[in-house]
């Protein structure tokens, strides 16, 4: 319907323009203003501001001093196989020995989809630290 009205208004404008050009004296002049769709209103631009930054501070990490294990020669050491068996029985999967030091044996593995570590003393029986 709007295209029909637009075409009709254009035809009327052309006809009136042709009449004005055909006349010799054109004394009165014909002024035709055709506004389709109403007046245009100014709309201010929409300003989108970023959300305020919220800083979440992590919980403090408590570091306890490592226990001192005195290793006397000839008393015995923690076997890596025994450390792996103990870690597996305590719930770690895909276990492997990640570090062996003079005082401790560290075993790394997965528990519930998250990597975790277990530390054993490097003495006979592999007590867990």
Domain count, the chain: 1
Would 85 be classed as within a structural domain?
yes
Would 115 be classed as within a structural domain?
yes
- pLDDT bracket for residue 6 (50, 70, 90): confident
User: At residue 94, does pLDDT exceed 80?
Assistant: yes
Which pLDDT does position 98 carry in this prediction? 93
Q: Is 105 exposed, middle or buried (0-12, 13-18, 19+ CB in 10 A)?
A: buried
Contact 55, 68 (CB under 8 A): no
Would 92 be classed as within a structural domain?
yes
Give the domain range for residue 101.
80-121
Would 64 be classed as within a structural domain?
no
| Beta strands in 53-129, from DSSP E residues, in sequence order | 93-100, 104-111, 114-121
Would 105 be classed as within a structural domain?
yes
Would 8 be classed as within a structural domain?
no
Would 114 be classed as within a structural domain?
yes
Would 91 be classed as within a structural domain?
yes
């Amino acid at each position: 319907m709007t295209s029909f009205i637009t075409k009709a208004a254009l035809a009327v404008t052309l006809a009136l323009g042709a009449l004005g050009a055909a006349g010799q004296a054109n004394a009165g002049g014909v002024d035709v203003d055709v506004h389709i769709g109403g007046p245009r209103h100014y709309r201010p631009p929409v300003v989108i501001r970023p959300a305020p930054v919220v800083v979440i501070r992590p919980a403090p990490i408590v570091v306890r001093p490592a226990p001192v294990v005195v290793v006397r020669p000839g008393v015995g050491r923690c076997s890596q196989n025994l450390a792996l068996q103990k870690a597996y029985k305590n719930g770690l999967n895909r276990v492997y020995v990640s570090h062996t030091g003079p005082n401790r044996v560290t075993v790394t593995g997965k528990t519930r989809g998250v990597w975790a570590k277990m530390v054993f003393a490097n003495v006979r029986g592999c007590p867990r630290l």
